[in-house]
Structure 1
């Protein structure tokens, strides 16, 4: 058979058709990653992980000892896994490795089904833990406290679970509950047998104890309840009500497009109190930040009238890498030095010169972020005279722009922060996927510093009123807490002040050594107990 030009064209067309069909198959069908990994596959994934951390992690570049520890922990991990290993257990090992970075922005997700977990909901109460069912009721009302799992003290399980929690969020109640519930992951790490049942030891915290044998759960149990209980309608049709305004925001990027939410918060700024729930807020829009700066500025005093507001809020720099362009931080509101005006450049230069970083060659140039109080962002002076208050509910999942909202709001006297400490996730992330396990990893690739030259990344913002965000918050209890905190904040008082009337009003007297007397200390302790009682009330549905 003669092989001429038409045959060549036909063969070429056939090859092109096969390539198109193959590309369509790869596009339409998701890649199925392995549920078990061989030793060589784990070794390959770990090599990719180490290389990506070395090249792109800002926290690995900031502290070489963290990265050195990860490298040291990888070799025995591969050595122990002589046979194949389930991908989910490999995922747990990756989480434990990256916890060493102390990176608040590290996110590790697995494409496979989760491993068995505890069949109960854990709830911390002081130094004990409650064991609750799906309706948030103790599984045994006469023995509500859990003391042992599979015969081992709960403290031992909690100690093991801390290995999987990064330092910036290791005090978070939600993180502690999540990892303490990962039954099979903790069993394997402790060398315990993997069974389809779990033995729980329950107590009344006195002298009565029982044991329950329950089947393990496939998914972590969550009570199907609202975040705020007993909440009244926020605003009437006329826009006025005696009840505070409540709004929950989960996507900051949609803030300016949600006209109903914007109008609600604008009307709420005229009310006595507005509460915004940011526990799960994500997104990079700064509209809410500027709304708070406009409507809840600090009251004007002689001091802030004579001093110009700080023009810059923070400086940042990203991990130097061929994968990052010079505008890497611009989506987070950071711009280069030459785009600032003269006075902003003075602040910029003064702060950048005070920051001393080892291995500075691993980071790029400095970038700055303007403060919402800068001259370019004018706020309405009429709001200075109002007495409206704002409460923000925050937690470890309040990240990126939400972190900036919490950080800035901490400096405002008319704003109260409620909830748990944020994680300090202020940087831009870099993501990659491990080839065999399909585990997706995101790492922080930039660092942020305040205008005093102190590191902000991984520090987080402390709430004014600490409350576990995993609990349902009672509306009236929350209002009582905010009112009490605002009263304490408005009371200008020091023990060394000559204002004896203020001391008498608080019931605090001084001895000859200028310290509070015994009676005064008792009074202050009673005030502390009152705040504790209010916190308990706020968590009572």
Structure 2
């Protein structure tokens, strides 16, 4: 086969990426999008929920109520699959809502993410950007004494892979159970394009006894990235401005999250003929 060289920039897509499927293509753009398209029953009483992108509740005011209703609807399913493959990220709103149904009472509070901000703050950016990520410092009024006790327990055995001497004191994302979690095993389906806030979503639930991560290693990029122009060359670069750590002490950047169950794409999925994963 001989192919001509293209004079245009082409972008290639995985045929099984959620966000390019026609069924989900308007999820972000249409505030009146039919959210019921996102969930369905699979065979043998297995529930399925697709999340094409981590939009905020401001973008879709109906989304929070829909997610809560969906969790209740599938509470007693045989298993529950949350599909976040090729989800490019966004906000942590969906993570915060679903955590109430994924974290069991005996694991609550659950410390899901630890992050450090560059201490020089040359970005002139308010730390409210951390609060929008549900990251709070140890003495924050938004954390309870019970939360701080859970942080103390984690700190006793927690070691990061990098020195953080050029960074702030840690900020913590603390998740809670609502006391009425899903009663079934939960499988979070990920791939190499599970990115940014979706990478945080994956790592946040890693280690919970009722949750398994399935697929291939996530992209991992998550660091409150900003653009900078180098002063001499004026080359534009984009770099992370926080160190964002997982519960295992590794950064999200450069590592991503390893699945509990590795499931690669096969040839039929690569050709877009079936979704083998």
Coarse TM-score class (shorter-chain normalised): 0.5 to 0.7
SS in 1 for 2:132: helix
Q: Which residue of 2 aligns with 1:312?
A: 111
Instruction: Tell me the residue number matched to 2:241.
Output: 445
Determine if contact 1:278/1:392 at 8 Å carries over to the other structure.
Answer: yes
* Partner of residue 455 from structure 1, selected from 242, 245, 250: 250
Q: Whose Rg is larger?
A: 1
Equivalent-residue separation in structure 1 for 2:151 and 2:108 (angstroms): 14
Question: 1:425 corresponds to which residue?
Answer: 221
Q: Deviations over 1:65-96 (max 9, x none)?
A: xxxxxxxxxxxxxxxxxxxxxxxxxxxxxxxx
| Structure with the larger helix share | 1
Whether the aligned pair in 2 keeps the contact of 1:430 and 1:443 (CA below 8 Å) is: yes
- Structure 2 unaligned runs (5+)? 22-36
Equivalence for 1:365: 169
Extract unaligned runs of 5+ from structure 1: 1-211, 476-537
Q: Note the aligned Cα RMSD (angstroms).
A: 4.1
For 2:11 and 2:147, the matched residues in 1 are separated by 51
Match of 1:215 in 2: 4
Counterpart secondary structure, 2:81? strand
Matching of residue 247 in structure 1 with residue 53 in structure 2: no
Looking at structure 1, the residues matched to 149 and 136 of structure 2 have their Cα atoms a distance apart, in angstroms, of 15
TM-score relative to the length of structure 1: 0.37
Query: Do 2:199 and 2:252's aligned partners in 1 also have CA atoms closer than 8 Å?
Result: no
Cα deviation code 1:388-446 (max 9, x no counterpart): 33332212332333223211333234433232211322321112357999975321111
Q: Answer whether contact 1:332 1:428 (CA < 8 A) is retained.
A: no
**Structure 2 length normalisation: TM-score?**
0.66
Distance in 2, Cα, partners of 1:359 & 1:456: 12
Residues in 1 aligned to 2:204 and 2:45: alpha-carbon distance in whole angstroms: 26
Deviation per CA, 1:465-498: give whole Å up to 9, x if none.
32239734845xxxxxxxxxxxxxxxxxxxxxxx
| Higher RCO (CA < 8 A, seq sep 6+) | 2
2:246, 2:252 within 8 Å by CA — same for their partners in 1? no
The offset of 1:380, in angstroms, is 0.7
Residues 396 and 443 of structure 1: CA distance in aligned 2, closer, same or farther (over 3 Å): farther
- Change in CA separation of 1:257 and 1:222 when aligned onto 2, cut-off 3 Å: same
**Contact conserved, 2:56 with 2:93, CA < 8 A, in 1?**
no
Distance 1:439 1:264, change over 3 A: farther
Residues in 2 aligned to 1:227 and 1:399: alpha-carbon distance in whole angstroms: 13
